[in-house]
Amino acid sequence: MARASLTIDLAAIRANWRALDAMTECETGAVVKADAYGLGADQVGPTLLKVGVRNFFVALAEEGAALRAAIGPGPRIFVFSGLMPEDVGLVRAAALVPLLNTPAQLLEAKRVSAKFDAPLTVGFQLDSGMNRLGFEADELADALAPSDALSGLEVTLVMSHLACADEPDHMMNAAQASAFSAIAAHPVLNSTPKSLAATGGVLLGPAYHFDMTRPGIGLYGGLPFADARPVVTLEAPILQIRDVAAGEIVGYGAAYEAASPRRIATLPVGYADGLARRLSAGFAGRLDGMTLPSAGRVSMDLVTLDVTGCATAREGAMVTLLGADQTIDDLADSAGAIGYEVLTSLGSRYARRYRDA
């Protein structure tokens, strides 16, 4: 029996990066945190390198070290979480660029550069209103006041993050852009490159682009980049088919009861593979152009679909669960989730295939 398979289209990732790059006049980086949103940073990193990416972003130093092994020396790898004392070894060994978030992280960076007697390349993350990570304006002013504030450090990027970039009309957007400009105008950082925009910020327009953008989800085919090429295809084989009489139930909790005679197919994917249990109404498979609605609850390893009237539904036939017809955002809508969450939940049990055409 074939396993469920997840196909990741590397050419589509490159095309999405190029499309986002073409929307700005500035440098375009790439966010590959959480193992490239679950798609495999060891494959996604090198494919983006091929199309010209020279600035990568990860959340954790461990992710940065794994990425460095995949892409080799040269490109910058920024770490959003900054510099934690236990990261120092990795930061040096993998030449990572911590994005400093707090006065304590700045002190740690200076301590590291003194200890190793070599300049440490860093960036600054500023809080422009999201209140999640980064220096507040007054903290930054205090930290930069001493004349030796940045001794031993080479500052290559000043960044912040938008809270509402997927809502173009949200008043937070303009407020954060001007707050960012004001904080980043500090004389000590004035000539350092600036970055504010993730995928949503790229789409907001030039006022948000500054010197570098940092798209993530758009590369992987998700909203808010509506014109993205889909990147993932998820297919699962039919394991078993049975006829169910009117009045019989399917699955846990007897949550589905057949109103008329139905044919029910069982597929070997479940919530342990990222098909959230909340998926019920609205979730469907596709086979030969037919829509196969889910029937009953998603269980850990299995889902059941109504294949009544689908002539090609037989044991072994491959049903498409994610692709151009049902995107990560469609599935997210049905589960009360977002595309990011669908991607990063896909799990490790699929046969993974990388297509590059």
Q: Which is nearer to ligand PLP, 301 or 341 (CB)?
A: 341
Phi-psi region of 152 (alpha: psi -120 to 50; beta: other; left: phi over 0): left
The interface region with ligand PLP, picked from 48-56, 216-224, 298-306, 325-333 by CB under 6 A, is 216-224
Query: In the set 43, 47, 113, 199, which binds ligand PLP (CB under 6 A)?
Result: 199
Task: Count residues binding ligand PLP (CB under 6 A).
Answer: 12
Catalytic residue among 110, 115, 252, 340: 252
Exposed / middle / buried, residue 245 (Cβ in 10 Å: 0-12, 13-18, 19+): exposed
- Asked if 105 is part of the footprint of ligand PLP (rule: CB under 6 A), the reply reads no
Give CA–CA dist 12/18, Å, rounded.
Answer: 10
Q: Which is nearer to ligand PLP, 26 or 149 (CB)?
A: 26
Q: Is 198 in the site for ligand PLP (CB under 6 A)?
A: yes
Minimum distance from residue 224 beta carbon to ligand PLP (Å)? 8
Residue among 80, 180, 210, 283 that touches ligand PLP (CB under 6 A): 80
33 is catalytic: yes
Are residues 248 and 291 in contact, defined by beta-carbon separation less than 8 angstroms?
Answer: no
Which of 6, 217, 287, 310 is in the footprint of ligand PLP by CB under 6 A? 217
Sheet strands (E) in the chain: 5-9, 27-28, 30-31, 55-58, 76-79, 97-100, 120-125, 153-159, 194-195, 212-213, 232-237, 240-244, 249-250, 256-257, 262-267, 284-287, 290-293, 303-306, 318-322, 351-355
181 SS3 class: helix
The answer to whether 104 and 88 are in contact (CB under 8 A) is no
Residue nearest to ligand PLP (CB): 216
- Pick 221 or 251: Cβ nearer ligand PLP: 221
Could you give the CA distance from residue 156 to residue 142 in angstroms, rounded to a whole number?
20
With binding defined as CB under 6 A, does residue 64 bind ligand PLP? no
Query: Per the annotation, does 132 bind a ligand?
Result: yes
Considering only residues 157 through 186, tell me which ones interact with ligand PLP, judged by CB under 6 A. Answer: 161
Residues 6+ apart with CB under 8 A from 315: 237, 238, 239, 240, 241
Whichever of 31 and 90 has its CB closer to ligand PLP, that residue is 31
Cis peptide before 75 (omega within 30 of 0): no
Tokens representing 35? 């193992």
Helices 61-71 and 41-50, packing angle to 10 deg: 50
Q: Which is nearer to ligand PLP, 149 or 207 (CB)?
A: 207
Instruction: Choose between 134 and 270: whose C-beta lies nearer to ligand PLP.
Output: 134
Report which of 38, 13, 11, 30 is spatially closest to residue 221, judged by C-alpha positions: 13
Asked if residue 92 belongs to a known ligand binding site, the reply is no
Q: In angstroms, how far is the first alpha carbon of the chain from the final one?
A: 27
252 among known catalytic residues: yes
Site string for ligand PLP, 12-41 (x = CB under 6 A): -------------------x-x--------
Binding residues for substrate: 132, 300
Tell me the binding residues.
132, 300
Catalytically annotated residues: 33, 252
Binding interface with ligand PLP (CB under 6 A)? 31, 33, 80, 161, 198-200, 214-218
